[in-house]
Amino acid sequence: MSSFPHLADPLTDGQVVLRDYKERDIPEILIAYQDDPRLHVQNGEDRPPTGAELGSRAEREAALRAAGEGVTLTVLEPGSDTCRGQIRVRNVDWDHRRAELSVWLAPQVRGRGLGRSALRLAGGWLLTDCGLIRLEIMAEPENPAVLHAAQAAGFQREGVLREYQRKRGKGVDMVIMSLIATDLVAEPDRGPAEE
């Protein structure tokens, strides 16, 4: 089993910055959930998290990372340390060297390409420095912002998994997209900056 290394320096492409998730991000995360009442639905949660739940997540982050079970990166704008979103890596399978990513952004910064840049940076780090060979994003077809951001970051659409998840008491289709190392070589389709 592998683990996820801590970032010695934040990752940046000049458009966005990614750093390790810190407990000090919690107030901005709570504000993002208040500003977007549907953010918890997009993130696959039954309800918005409480401050105590976010604190517990922050406390578990180091252990999850060391065990190779997941990692959370905070999305920042250049020149700022204010959390503007997160990329979460979960459902890690070290035998097959793959993991699932999710991304969310605060409403105030959407539409500026931060999601695309953050996914591209995280993808490069995970596929080169962390030893993974396949990254996946799953999103509901009704979530075009994440799908556009993923495509613009180089993720390839593979298809629709029909009634793949149970959410809110019903079967929900999920679009699956993937990124492998050869996708990083090609210049991604910039497309609309939805996320």
Query: What residues does 160 pair with on adjacent strands?
Result: 175
Residues recorded for the chain: 195
Which residue, chain included where needed, has tokens 């934040």?
Answer: 10
pLDDT at 188: 57
CATH assignment of 11-185, among 3.30.565.10, 3.40.630.30, 3.30.1320.10, 1.10.486.10: 3.40.630.30
Domain boundaries, the chain: 11-185
pLDDT averaged per 10 residues, the chain (length 195): 88 96 96 94 88 94 94 97 97 97 96 95 96 96 92 96 86 95 74 50
- pTM over cut 0.85: yes
pLDDT at 67: 95
pLDDT at 169: 81
Q: 88 in helix, strand or coil?
A: strand
